[in-house]
A = this chain, B = another copy of it.
């Protein structure tokens, strides 16, 4: 059986990664999300192994040292990471795994698992990105300007990715990503087994 695909959906904050991933999971068979590990305390209703794998800082750092994460980050004092073991088990069972992740995380994943499929979600324009961030209404003018500068710089990382999807219409973006998954499953580099099977006379 062929391995599953690791599909990394990434891009600047505000590009619409979350909405796309949600629709993609709803509309695609056999597409799993990975459960992250975190040192953050569980919130009400969160369950171990489903929402997150909860762990303490000592344990988390030991796993960092053992290269047990595809990627990790420290956000406001809490660690978050994607455990290799969990993801690789799913891929080996032939299931596709989707990771929705920021650009720094995606670059770490690429280093640890270059066989992944790396998709950069573009906002329709930086103007539109600004509108989206402003509409959230949670950020001050100064923060918005800093985020816009950051998004502008982040666009340069698109050239580290395999594919770029312009998110001007969510359903169209989802269909394109489904096509990318189908296409990637038919890449010669992923198909050695089938080629050997055809050769049987």
| A155-B195, A164-B195 known; A125 vs B200 contact (CB < 8 Å) | yes
A113 at the interface (CB under 8 A from B): no
| Contact yes or no, A158 B123, CB < 8 A | no
A85 at the interface (CB under 8 A from B): no
* A163 partner, pick from B183, B195, B199, B201, beta carbons under 8 A: B183
A161 partner residues in chain B, CB cutoff 8 A = 188
Oligomeric state, in copies: 2
A195 partner residues in chain B, CB cutoff 8 A = 122, 155, 158, 164
Q: Scoring A residues 161 to 201 as 1 if CB is less than 8 Å from chain B, else 0, what string do you get?
A: 11111100000000110111011101110010011011111
| Contact yes or no, B200 A126, CB < 8 A | yes
A76 at the interface (CB under 8 A from B): no
* Distance of A63 from chain B, by nearest CB (Å): 32
| A163-B188, A184-B183 known; A198 vs B120 contact (CB < 8 Å) | no
| Contact yes or no, B188 A123, CB < 8 A | no
A127 at the interface (CB under 8 A from B): yes
| Contact yes or no, A122 B155, CB < 8 A | no
Q: Within A102-156, which residues are at the interface with B (CB < 8 Å)? A: 120, 122-127, 148, 152, 155
* A166 partner, pick from B123, B159, B194, beta carbons under 8 A: B194
Beyond A126-B199, A155-B198, A163-B188: 6 further Cβ-contacts under 8 Å? A123-B198, A125-B197, A164-B188, A166-B198, A176-B183, A178-B179
Which positions in A face B, CB cutoff 8 Å?
120, 122-127, 148, 152, 155, 158-159, 161-166, 175-176, 178-180, 182-184, 186-188, 191, 194-195, 197-201
13 CB contacts below 8 A, A to B, read: A123-B198, A124-B198, A125-B198, A126-B199, A148-B201, A161-B188, A162-B187, A163-B183, A163-B187, A164-B188, A165-B186, A180-B182, A180-B186
